A = this chain, B = another copy of it.
Amino acid sequence: MSDSISRRKLLTGAAATAGAALATTARADDPAITEVQPWNQELGDGVDVAPYGVPSEFEADVVRRNVPWLTADATSSINFTPIHALEGIITPNGLCFERHHSGVALVDPAEHRLMINGLVDTPLVFTVDEIKRFPRENRIYFLECAANGGMEWRGAQLNGCQFTHGMIHCVQYTGVPLKHILAEAGVKTAGKWILPEGADASGMTRSIPLEKALEDCMVAFAMNGEALRPEQGYPLRLVVPGWEGNMWVKWLRRIEVGDMPWHHREETSKYTDLMSNGKARRFTWEMDVKSVITNPSPQAPITHESGHTVLSGLAWSGRGTIKRVDVSLDGGTNWTTARLDGPSHPKALHRFYHEFNWDGGPLLLQSRAIDSEGHVQPTKDALRAVRGTESIYHNNSIQTWHVREGGEVENVEVG
């Protein structure tokens, strides 16, 4: 295990010749090594200080952020996930993006009910405790807002993947398969659609085909092991794996069964895709294959001069797992297969890496994901050729980051 062998192994897939060493050899004059640090001299805080722990004060910049001009007011706005500062595939609950239509409802679970009505044999009303007496499941899923990337249809605009791609998170949900609850009420033969309704002031409703409801929808009560957070629908939310986030109704209080879709506001004037010919596509529920490089990115520039560099990103598809991610350092001329690492769950985030030896010069970074059904993430131009530029929703095009000499990064377009 000589030094030369180990370094060669490390640099598999990258040009090793220009590689700066990853570490300085031990120096007698580095006070961080030679001096006893304060935390080595004194007792730290005891265990009773934080019954519910919080991040280090040195991580105060890793927070959700709003774009003030984007929506009318804070109760109808978006706090984006800081994906540029995160690792792996699990999003911590405190950093999961939030988007509300009437602010965060603070629901008392003892006063909350879930009603099943409409085309059922027996209309039913459940308390939250009663929901927890059904068999439950645990599934890791991404949740993406249909408008994620919506500000980029006409050109590069927001300088940071937190804002261009941060309407996404991925957690482990625990809940009851909706099929069990619908079976308890007994869906009549004429029942073909469901309408989940939220208990907040916006009274969110969406039409969902019964087939999807029975396939993999869940009534979730926990995320990442603990109760849902208030901004994620505490105490109950609908989970609609792989489909647009707006359908994952929060503060879920009612599911009506019907024989046709309801054509409510949030699936007509909103959450439809306006095409260049003035017509609109409706019921575009599935989230298409997509990826983004999270490091380097405008909020996470390269801070070393050259040498070993880790490129990292996220990929996902509402249709299954991610089969492959390609990465380009030159704006799409040359492509290399990225390394996928960590768990691969259907309709969940996937983490990819590309380790390369940076020469310190400019780069045009792109990633392109391919899902388990063979769908390939399109270029911006290819997507616009079909969809125009008047849309808000379902922008799954390839993102380009321009790394400047010196390591700063900006949002640009290259085809």
- Interface with B: A36-44, A315-323, A403-411, which one? A36-44
Of B48, B62, B100, the residue contacting A44 (CB under 8 A) is B100
CB–CB B89/A92 < 8 A: no
Query: Smallest CB–CB gap between A147 and chain B, Å?
Result: 14
Is A78 an interface residue, CB under 8 A from the partner? yes
Least Cβ–Cβ distance between A166 and chain B, in angstroms: 12
Contact for A342 among B30, B55, B172, CB less than 8 A: B172
CB distance from A346 to the nearest CB of B (A): 12
Are B113 and A32 neighbours in the complex by a CB distance under 8 Å?
yes
A336 on interface, CB distance cutoff 8 Å = no
| A187, CB-defined interface residue at 8 Å | yes
Instruction: For the complex, give the distance between the alpha carbons of A117 and B23 in Å.
Output: 13
Please give, as numbers and ranges, the residues of chain B lying within 8 Å of A7 by CB-CB distance: 183-184
B102 touches A37 (CB 8 A): no
When chains A and B are docked, how far (Å) is the Cα of A136 from the Cα of B310? 8
Which residues does A use to contact B, with CB under 8 Å? 1-3, 5-7, 9-10, 22-27, 30, 32-33, 37, 39-59, 62-66, 73-75, 77-79, 85-96, 98-100, 102-109, 111-113, 115, 117, 121-126, 129-130, 132-140, 171-174, 180, 182-187, 199-201, 203, 221-222, 224-227, 229-231, 234-235, 251, 303-304, 307-310, 312, 339, 341-343, 345, 351, 353, 355
The answer to whether residues A134 and B88 also contact, given A1-B187, A200-B39 and a CB cut-off of 8 A, is no
* In contact, B47 and A98 (Cβ under 8 angstroms): yes
Closest to A139 in B: B342
Given A24-B124, A201-B43, verify A355-B135 contact (CB < 8 Å). Answer: yes
When all copies of this chain in the complex are counted, the total is 2
List, in ascending order, chain B residues with CB within 8 A of A27's CB.
Answer: 125
Bound-complex Cα distance A183 to B96 (A)? 37
Q: Which residue of B lies closest to A103 (CB)?
A: B44
B56, B75, B172: which contacts A89 (Cβ < 8 A)?
B172
Which residue in B43, B174, B183, B307 is a CB contact (below 8 Å) of A10? B183
Given known A7-B184, A39-B199, contact A304–B129 (CB-CB < 8 A): yes
